[in-house]
Amino acid sequence: MKIKDIMIKKVVTVELDDSLRVVKELFEKTNFHHLAVVHDGKLYGIISDRDLLKSISPNIGTMAATSKDMATLNKKVHQVMTRQPITSDEESSVRDAIHIFNTNKISCIPIVRDSGYLVGMVSWRDILRNIEIMIAPEIV
């Protein structure tokens, strides 16, 4: 099975100069755990929900939040994103993706074309979901 068969094609993206406030809102509105950081369609990095949580004050959303806590939401994506993420291409196999996950401490793989143009994203959850679909008839 190829990556293109299981990848998410409608990837939620942010720009390099978007604020962490924008990122926080996107994570709250979507069911994604990673956002691709792009400029003109080209991938520059990844920001995860964990990156966000490490970069903003834990007091946000509580009665204890001060203006200093809220100011952490003004940081820019390029300040906290993972640069030069490990990527793959559409024609790679799912086995290749599993190998990438098993040999690196990552939880998503951006799928790009040769020019660095982002075309999709695969997470370990996507792989597990597809394995479940493939083996589900055998379990019953």
Query: Which structural domains are found in the chain, ordered by start?
Result: 3-139 (3.10.580.10)
pLDDT level of residue 135 (50, 70, 90 thresholds): confident
What is the rounded CA–CA span in Å between residue 91 and residue 5?
9
Contact 17, 81 (CB under 8 A): no
pLDDT score at 36: 96
| Concatenated DSSP letters of 65-95 | --HHHHHGGGSBHHHHSEES---B-TTSBHH
pLDDT score at 139: 54
pLDDT level of residue 137 (50, 70, 90 thresholds): low
pLDDT score at 123: 93
Strands 34-39 and 13-14 turn out to be parallel
What is the rounded CA–CA span in Å between residue 36 and residue 41?
10
pLDDT score at 115: 83
Backbone angles phi, psi at 10, to 5 degrees: -95, 80
Residue range 117-131: mean pLDDT, rounded: 91
Q: What is the pLDDT of residues 23-66, one digit of tens each?
A: 999 999 998 899 999 999 899 999 999 999 999 998 898 898 88
pLDDT at 138 over 80: no
Helices 94-103 and 124-139: crossing angle in degrees, nearest 10, is 120
Q: What is the pLDDT of residues 78-106, one digit of tens each?
A: 999 999 999 999 999 999 999 999 999 99
Average pLDDT for the chain? 91
pLDDT score at 136: 60
